[in-house]
Structure 1
Amino acid sequence: MMIEKRNFYSNLRYARKTFFYPLISVVVAFSVCFTTPLAAQGFSIWDIIFQGAQIIQLSNISDKQEIQLGRQINQQLLRSDVKLYSNSQINNYIKRIGNRLEAQSTRKNIPYTFQVVKDDSINAFATTGGYVYINTGLIKAADNEAELASVIAHEMGHIEGDHVIEQMQKTAIARGLATAAGVENSRLVQLGVELGYRRPNSRGAEKEADQIGLKMLTDSDYAPQGMVSFMRKLESKSGSRVPPFLSTHPSPSNRVQYLQSWVNAQRNKGNDGLSEATYRNNIRPLL
């Protein structure tokens, strides 16, 4: 009798897993569908039923979802035109700098991933979930580690300030991709890839990324003057042809001036990372 009773409960649990929980998923999917105007959704009821778990609400995205989204965007980027530089000395060097800055991060649940892109253009960008990309051309353009660290810190500033997520949300709404339920994951990945290549941040976002980046730079004991000198160098080198780093980072004309004023106002200034000889030795494979 006891054996039959155990078998009964075992079969009952199996039935719950097999039929009850999928039924709940379908009911939830239908409830989302019928409480959201279909005309505003842009995808069918079956998309919601079978892909409902992949719908992300960017206004309330969790750290776990952000990390997963960033990983998917990274995978798509690496399958397209982004080619990583494979030299271990350079990659380890960039990771050391990034990890040093990451120690000052306020988003402790977001692990940073620093990658070197094999591209001679002077550029750097960040996507969601802690992914930061630095071009080999930008590494060669810097004169010292403090200058390079300032660029990495600036890109981290966009992630720290949630600028990447905010921009994805604004773009999704403008294009009619967002619904009351959120945005489909695959569309977000495509959007993230596109914005990774062309990310026209607002002046407010750029200034905040500068502020956050400068604080991370200084708190890591790097010379904050490195951020000013690198920006001044880019502006003087650009001439009529603006480097991608500046063209995708629209800034006010007085950017160098406000950076310098912030540095002057700081009481404690580190002086690490200014040796050109040490820097050239660290990036020797690129020279």
Structure 2
Amino acid sequence: MTFGIVTGSPETSLAIPWLELLLRGAQVFQLYSISDQEEIQLGKQINQQLISSGQIQLYSNQKTNRYVNQIGQRLAANSTRPNIPYTFQVVRDNSINAFATAGGYVYVTTGLLGAVDNEAQLAAVLAHEIGHIASQHSIEQMRQTAITRGLVSAAGLDRSTAVQLGVELALQRPRSREDEYEADRRGIQTLARAGYDQRAMIAFLQKLRNQPTPPTFLSTHPAPDDRISALLRAISRNNTR
């Protein structure tokens, strides 16, 4: 809050400080106890910043976007966290990649769309990213990074800082091995409930692993062979229940 000479009526002079206090309160996140609505709003602001800063360029083909969204919404409705809205967007980028941010925002590149062999493989990628959202991995990453950098005050994490941190983590920081395995486990459960073949996730990992130059993002994830082995075990357990 700033202090200075305030012009206007006495009522206005009294109202402004309280309004500013309320706005300041709304600009602080307690990441340990963030509500669904707060996370959705945070994800929306991260998405706006990603787009307005030019760090991602959305693909404008409406048919492609509708196709991805239809698959994504079908999966989200069958996920372990179906009670928040999900937004699926295609990013114009030739690299093979997908990522998710807080509050239900999922991104896939045009390069990835060109790399999948069928709808089930695309669904597997989307289900994996939904798994990250269901587990609130972005929020946990933000919390740990903010603590490490000393960005958290007694009141919490400033909203603008949280947004910038969310943008950075979305684009630059790999998730932990444990997060990736958890997203895989949740992903295959979602695939099965949505009527897709769980093994499509394995098929896509095998396809990427066998490319002459595997995608860069694989180097920041657990080794494909380790993920495939873990997926095979998880699918076997699911099928024997």
TM-score bin (small chain): 0.7 to 0.9
Which residue is equivalent to 2:152?
178
In structure 1, distance between residues paired with 2:154 and 2:214: 40
TM-score, normalised via structure 1 length: 0.74
- State which of 164, 172, 180 in structure 1 corresponds to 2:138: 164
1:211 corresponding residue in structure 2: 185
Q: Which entry has the higher C-alpha Rg, 1 or 2?
A: 1
d(CA) in 1 for partners of 2:167, 2:149 = 16
Q: Secondary structure at the match of 2:48?
A: helix
8 A contact 1:201–1:250 mirrored in 2: no
Residues 1:260 and 2:232 aligned together: yes
Cross-structure match for 1:236:
210
Partner of 2:48: 75
Q: Is 1:60 matched with 2:33?
A: yes
Secondary structure of 1:221's match? coil
2:131 and 2:182 in contact (8 A); partners too: yes
Whether contact under 8 Å (1:122, 1:135) holds in the other structure is: yes
| CA shift digits 1:178-214 (9 cap, x unpaired) | 1221100001111111111113111111111000011
Contact 2:206–2:224 (Cα < 8 Å) also in 1 = no
RMSD value, Cα: 2.4
Contact in 1 for aligned 2:80/2:190 (Cα 8 Å): no
The count of aligned residue pairs is 231
The alignment-based identity, stated in percent, is 52
Please tell me whether the aligned partners of residues 100 and 129 of structure 2 are also in contact (alpha carbons under 8 angstroms).
Answer: yes
Answer whether contact 1:207 1:251 (CA < 8 A) is retained.
no
Which stretch has the larger CA shift, 108-117 or 210-219? 108-117
Unmatched segments (≥5 aa) in structure 1? 1-14, 30-48, 269-287
CA distance in 2, matches of 1:180, 1:55: 10
Match of 1:100 in 2: 74
1:154 has 2:154 as partner: no
Distance 1:139 1:114, change over 3 A: same
- Which of 194, 200, 203 is the aligned partner of 1:220? 194
SS in 1 for 2:187: helix
Paired with 1:224 and 1:252, the residues of 2 have a C-alpha distance of: 16
Consecutive aligned runs of 4 or more in structure 1 exceeding 4 Å deviation: 15-18, 20-23
Write out aligned runs for 1:103-142 (5 A): 103-142=77-116
Paired AA for residue 131 in structure 1: Y
